């Protein structure tokens, strides 16, 4: 994903971590029907957190399990 397609500001990415395992989060896009939904993924514990309006929603209860 290019810098122009990042879901959150780079300075914020440098300090936030996965609330489940403290792993690094990476930008991703999940396709839901015809819509693309921005999210942050943790490859360590296979969770994806939604990004709404540029704000990451880092709640484990709202995270989506990814294929790992």
Which pTM was predicted? 0.83
Nearest to 66 by CA among 23, 8, 13: 23
pLDDT digits (tens, 9 = 90+) for 19-53: 999 999 999 999 989 999 899 999 999 999 999 88
Structure tokens at 33: 């029907």
Q: What stretches of 1-68 adopt beta strand conformation (E)?
A: 25-32, 35-42, 47-52, 55-56, 64-65
* Cα–Cα distance, 49 to 42 (Å, whole number): 8
- Answer yes or no: is pLDDT of 2 > 50: no
């Amino acid at each position: 994903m290019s810098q122009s397609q990042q879901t959150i500001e780079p300075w914020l990415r440098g300090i936030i971590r996965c609330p489940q395992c403290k792993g690094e989060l990476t930008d991703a896009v999940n396709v839901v029907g015809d819509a693309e939904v921005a999210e942050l993924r943790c490859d360590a514990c296979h969770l994806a957190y939604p990004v709404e309006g540029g704000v990451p929603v880092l709640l484990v209860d709202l995270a989506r399990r990814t294929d790992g």
